[in-house]
Structure 1
Amino acid sequence: MKRIAIQSEDFDVAAELAVLEAKGGGGVASFTGVVRGEGGLLALELEHYPAMTQAQVKRIVEDAMTRWPLLGVSVIHRYGRLEPGARIVFVGTASRHRTAALESCAFLIDWLKSEAPFWKKEHFENGATAWVEARAEDAAKAKGWDS
């Protein structure tokens, strides 16, 4: 079972976890990312090219499913204008063993953070805007999975 959703709507973390838990494995791992509200941030705006984003996320989910014995994967990433505290991303994995669930979840979120084709623009209280630059440490974490 794999679920990939690129959407503007919010998602229900408990419902996503329930689906993964129902797979009957021994471990479910998840990560939920929320928009930070520091430094006067009013909103984070995410843009993407739908076909390209869907294809690349599908490819990395399939990669995870070949690397680890997974019973289920759920990846949800939102786009649009999101305010601080809003859920932005969910990654959940289910496997018969915790190591596979934990490692695959970390692999997927590391990849999404550094390689997923989303462009992020911050909007601040003072009217300023800024595009979010890629961080070297995020790229290094994703690169670490290449071995």
Structure 2
Amino acid sequence: MSESENHDPIRLLAIRDTPLSLDEVYDAVGDDAAGGTTLFVGTVRDHDGGKSVAALEYSAHPTAEKELRRIAEKVCADFPVRALAAVHRVGRLAITDKAVIVAVSCAHRGEAFEAARRLIDDLKHQVPIWKHQVFTDGEEEWVGAGTC
């Protein structure tokens, strides 16, 4: 089997309750044949919909990692991905905490940008992860993704 036939571009996929590492994700997509790497970091902001946010809590369905893999495989099938990584945090997060990090490396920057955008957009819309927002005025809101 040649190296290209043995090449699995999916290097890191995880949903975890511990802080996320930019270095871990970036290092996972390192590839000598990649000329462009796109890294996206989603952080907890202090507002949403005109309201002040105190904190958030993410929860995930047990099938979330399986769905994340399905999305990653589709991105790899649709784009010339050299390496791909995606991690999402669950549990209670504070303002400025990293909630999600995705990275894609490709031979060229344009491909890397397009693939990373598809990866994060599909993750947000299809992976069953829910966000429970707690606002500073005491109100709460659930925002969800996925098909469950």
- Structures share a fold, TM > 0.5? yes
Correspondent of 1:47 among 46, 49, 59: 59
Normalised by the size of structure 1, how large is the TM-score? Answer: 0.83
Q: Distance in 2 between matches of 1:120 and 1:19?
A: 26
Contact 1:23-1:72 at 8 Å conserved across structures: no
> What is the SS of the residue equivalent to 2:29?
helix
Normalised by the size of structure 2, how large is the TM-score? Answer: 0.82
**Which residue number corresponds to residue 13 of structure 1?**
22
Label 1:10 to 1:23 Cα distance change in 2 as closer, same or farther (>3 A): farther
**Which residue number corresponds to residue 145 of structure 1?**
none
**Which residue number corresponds to residue 140 of structure 1?**
none
Unpaired segments ≥5 residues, structure 1: 135-147
Question: Percent identity of the aligned residues?
Answer: 30
Offset at residue 48 of structure 1 (A): 1.2
Greater percentage in helix: 1
**Which residue number corresponds to residue 125 of structure 2?**
114
CA RMSD in angstroms, aligned pairs only: 1.6
Contact 2:30-2:83 at 8 Å conserved across structures: no
Correspondent of 1:72 among 69, 77, 83: 83
Greater percentage in strand: 2
Q: Distance in 1 between matches of 2:18 and 2:87?
A: 10
Provide, for residues 63-117 of structure 1, a one-character-per-residue CA deviation record: whole Å limited to 9, x for no partner. 0111111110000011111111100001100111112211100001111222221
**Which residue number corresponds to residue 32 of structure 1?**
41
Q: Distance in 1 between matches of 2:100 and 2:121?
A: 12
| Letter matched to residue 6 of structure 1 | I
> What is the SS of the residue equivalent to 1:132?
strand
| Letter matched to residue 65 of structure 1 | C
> What is the SS of the residue equivalent to 1:101?
helix
Correspondent of 2:105 among 50, 74, 94: 94
Q: Distance in 2 between matches of 1:132 and 1:60?
A: 20
Alignment coverage as a number of residue pairs: 133
Offset at residue 124 of structure 1 (A): 2.0
